[in-house]
Amino acid sequence: MDAVMPRLTVERVQLAYGARAVLGDLSFTVGAGEIFGLLGPNGAGKSTAFAVLAGLLPAQGGAIRLDGELLSGSDRRLRARLGVVFQDPSLDQRLTVRENLFLSAQLYGLSGARAASRITELLQFSEIADRAGDTVKTLSGGLRRRVELARALLHAPDVLLLDEPTSGLDEASFQRTWARLAALRKQTGLTILLTTHRPEEAERCDRVGVLDGGKLVAVDSPNNLKHRVAGDVVELDCDGPEEVVTLLTERLALPARVREGRVIVERERGHELIPRIVEALPAGRLRSVSLRRPTLADVFLKLTGHGLDHETLQ
Amino acid sequence: MTSATLEMPAAQNVKSTPNALAQELATVSVLVRRDLLRFFREKSRLVGALAQPLLFWLVIGSGMAGTFRLPGAESVGYLEYFFPGIVLMVVLFAAIFTTMSVIDDRHEGFLQAVLVAPGSRGALVTGKVLGSSAVALLQAALFVALAPLAGFSYAAIAWLPLVLVLVLIALALTALGFALAWWLDSSAAYHVVMGMLLIPLWVLSGAMFPASASQPMLAMVMRVNPVSYAAAALRGSLYGGTVPGTAILGGGIPMQITVVALFAATALATAIVVCYRKR
């Protein structure tokens, strides 16, 4: 990756509202054809980073480069190379799917027969062709997301930016969205940059930037990130989790944390630990004990000291 | 469904680098077409566009008919006097409602897609203002067609200045509405400004009642209110040039239209500046 020029370079990007820093010295690179995810809870600065990258908010410091060229929000040539998928709809609810796509295509200089054939292709790719004549407000949330993706791909961008692409979608739609993104990358070499608060979504990326309080605390592949969590994760479902943490620390000298109401213990050879934990706790405290491999949610907890469900108050 | 293969066709003839001007014109055209598509899509809006001001004209018109007296022209009834005012009201309300939608549209609507596209913010403002103006003018045209009901004959109307002043005041009011909507960025705040500024601009324009020499304060407000010049030019055009009664605004139709043109240019420039400044 280092040998060739990255497709996208983010260098020390800063943004503050008054005295409150929302993004502090954000730096990372995304290679051509790479899928890069920014993982963090609500309030971590993901949406702000997305708005800056999409050219909607000017950064107050730092630079964003596309193939080495400085990218400014007003540069139309470079903006034509970006495709943007918003979390909130960017479609006119009262117009049909096809009307929306035609209007959007023209924003990128695509009209007439060229636009029509491109729209037909994308309606098929997004599996929405049978609803092309329906007004957007009659579509379900999942279908609207598919139209949003089609809209962002009309002009065949080199870089696709997605803000929380699967938030609120069910498991089947999540899988299908990712099959679609993977096919896009494989077939067209598209570079994809997305924000997410879902660890299972970050797992799908080639590399993940862990964002907390407007700062990147780690950038690595999901596997390398997971190696930072030692061995196994023992998860306890129990009454009074805070108290259980204290008990485990006092009696077994175990580093335990609470996440989403459950007690999490990271340890090599976790299976040997389980009988000792069960014996150390008062009878009836535990509802269940589970042993599993670490996820990116565990990584986030380890790196930041709080869970991904935690809302950062800034 | 999940078994289907996903074939993304190679994008052929899709990437294009049109010149800057073509890009800007395309952006403007997209926004105008979108507003027109939406307007003609909803038949209820077409009916409402005609029925609501008609009702307003007849109810207020007949309520005021007994007491109204136009200084210097006692033969002019209130329905006749109020007619150009109602045409202006149609333009103002259309401008208010089409630009109020900008507040949501910008954060969770089509304008997001426009903002990330290559077209400039200047093109976005121009397109939105032209589209909203077109909708406002279509609604106003429906009402102007009723002019004979108010006692104006088609033959006597000075059509060129009438069309000119309607186009200019529609541009001015939609640009003003856009600037306020973009700057305030809140529907609640926009409603307050609508009640405190936009509606009073219309009420105090001579649209509802003429200013008389016995109310110098009111006459002064009307003189500095740019909408008064649109009301006067519109009234003048309907009469084919000579307005019955004593006019509070000096100057003829050309001067009045010039003032409205300046108002439109200032409002449009303000809207563009606000759109660039406020992200």
Question: CA B56: distance to chain centroid?
Answer: 18
Instruction: Examine the domain organization and report whether A66 and A202 are in the same domain.
Output: yes
Q: What is the ipTM of this complex?
A: 0.89
Q: Any idea what the Cα angle at residue B170 is, between residues B166 and B173, rounded to 5°?
A: 135
A90 contacts in B (CB within 8 Å)?
108-113
| Facing residue for A88 by CB, picked from B37, B107, B116 | B107
Q: Is A277 on the interface with B (CB under 8 A)?
A: no
* The token pair that represents A268 in the structure block: 């090599």
The one-letter amino acid code at A23 reads: L
Residue A13 sits at φ, ψ, to 5 deg, of: -75, 130
pLDDT at B18 over 70: no
Is B232 inside any structural domain? yes
Domain membership flag for residue A299: no
Where would I find the H helices in B42-158?
A: 43-65, 78-100, 102-108, 110-116, 121-144
Query: What is the amino acid identity at position A199?
Result: P
Average pLDDT over residues A11-36: 91
Q: How many domains does chain A have?
A: 2
Judge if A176 and A125 occupy the same domain. yes
Report the pLDDT averaged over residues B42-61. 84
pLDDT at B87: 96
pLDDT at position B209 is 87
Write down the H helix ranges in A189-240. Answer: 199-202, 222-227
Residue B231, in any domain of the structure? yes
Q: How far apart are CA B127 and CA B30, in angstroms?
A: 7
Local confidence band at B60 (pLDDT 50, 70, 90 cut-offs): confident
CB contacts < 8 A (A, B): 123
Side chain identity, residue A205: C
Residue that wins the pLDDT comparison between B44 and B154: B154
pLDDT of residue A314: 41
| Cα distances (Å, whole numbers) of residue A75 to A67, A69, A72, A122, A296 | 14, 11, 6, 26, 36
| Tens digits of residue pLDDT in A215-246 | 999 999 999 998 888 788 899 998 889 998 99
Decide if A301 is inside a domain.
no
* Domain end call among A221, A250, A274: A221
Instruction: State whether residue B2 sits within 8 Å of chain A by CB.
Output: yes
pLDDT for position B1: 43
Looking at the fold, whether A122 and A239 belong to one and the same domain comes out as: no
A300 lies in some domain:
no
For residue B26, is it left (φ>0), alpha (ψ between -120 and 50) or beta? alpha
Q: Enumerate residues 72 to 131 of chain A having a beta carbon within 8 A of any beta carbon in chain B.
A: 74, 76-77, 79-80, 82, 84, 86, 88-95, 99-100, 103-104, 106-111, 114, 118, 121, 124-125, 127
Within-domain flag for B2: no
Domain that holds residue B126: 21-277
Interface of A with B in 184-213 (CB under 8 A): 184, 187-188
> Does residue B4 lie in a domain region?
no
Cα gap A218→A227, rounded to integer Å: 13
Q: Pick the last residue of a domain from A202, A221, A240.
A: A221
Which of A79, A95, A187 lies closest to B117 in CB terms?
Answer: A79
Distance from CA of A277 to the nearest CA of B (A): 43
Phi-psi region of A84 (alpha: psi -120 to 50; beta: other; left: phi over 0): beta
Asked if pLDDT for residue A155 goes beyond 50, the answer is yes
Contact call for B26 and A80, based on CB within 8 A: no
Q: Is B126 exposed, middle or buried (0-12, 13-18, 19+ CB in 10 A)?
A: buried
Residue B84 contacts A where some CB pair is shorter than 8 Å: no
> Nearest C-alpha of chain B: how many angstroms from A77?
7
B110/A100 Cβ within 8 A: yes
Query: Is B272 within 8 Å of B123 (Cβ atoms)?
Result: no
Total structural domains within chain B: 1
Buried/exposed B208-246: b ≥16 CB within 10 Å, e otherwise: bbbbeeeeeebbeebeebbbbbbbbbbbbbbbbeebebe
* The pair of three-digit structure tokens given for residue A131, joined into one six-digit string: 């609803």
**Residue A193 located in a structural domain:** yes
User: How does DSSP classify residue A164?
Assistant: S
Distance between A208 CA and the closest CA of chain B, angstroms: 24
Verify that A60 and A124 share a domain, yes or no.
Answer: yes
- Containing structural domain, residue A287: 230-293
Q: Do A123 and A78 form a contact (C-beta atoms < 8 A)?
A: no
Q: CATH number of the domain at A277, please.
A: 3.30.70
Give the residue from A195, A221, A247 where a domain finishes: A221
Q: What is the mean pLDDT of residues B71-88?
A: 87
Question: Is the CB of A104 less than 8 angstroms away from the CB of B117?
Answer: yes
Closest-CA residue of chain A to B7: A125
Residues in chain A: 314
Domain membership flag for residue B265: yes
Same domain, A53 and A139: yes
